[in-house]
Amino acid sequence: MLERIDRDAIIKRASELMRSGATMLAESCPLCGSPLFKLTSGEVVCPVHGRVMLVKTEEDLSKANVTSVLTELEKSIANRLGDYVSKLKSSKEVEFEDIRNIISWLDALERVEKIRIILSKEKEQEKTKARPTRKT
């Protein structure tokens, strides 16, 4: 599922980052596994994907991982649906199988959206939890 990564390009980009004062982190990109770099500005970047959200805890890292996977999944599903749309446009006869596949992909897309909503709700709850409470 992962895209092919040009090793030379990563190494080149990584050395550019190092030269600009970025430091290599122990964490790796949840999408491609490349080591992440922290810029002097404090931003965390992947040499392949560019900016990556800054994660502090193991739990954060796994959530960021899920979010990245969902994003990739969404893109793949959208591509698949696009293929079916052009197939429907170009062919005169509509095959039942295609319709069934489209429905399945739409179902998958809907599930991705639902998971996203659940994740964002969890995030909201954490924010409220993290807010300091005054002891009386």
Contact 23, 38 (CB under 8 A): yes
Work out how close the CB of 50 gets to Zn ion at its nearest, in angstroms, rounded to a whole number: 8
How does strand 44-46 pair with strand 23-28?
Answer: unpaired
Work out how close the CB of 13 gets to Zn ion at its nearest, in angstroms, rounded to a whole number: 11
Tell me the per-residue interface mask from 15 to 34 with Zn ion, x by CB under 5 A, - otherwise.
Answer: --------------x-xx--
Site for Zn ion in 46-105 (CB under 5 A): 46, 48-49
- In 1-136, the DSSP E strands lie at 23-28, 35-38, 44-46, 50-52
Work out how close the CB of 45 gets to Zn ion at its nearest, in angstroms, rounded to a whole number: 9
Look at residues 87, 63, 67, 64 and name the one whose alpha carbon lies nearest to residue 75: 67
Nearer to Zn ion, 49 or 116 (CB): 49
Contact 32, 48 (CB under 8 A): yes
Nearer to Zn ion, 14 or 77 (CB): 14
Contact residues for Zn ion (CB under 5 A)?
29, 31-32, 46, 48-49
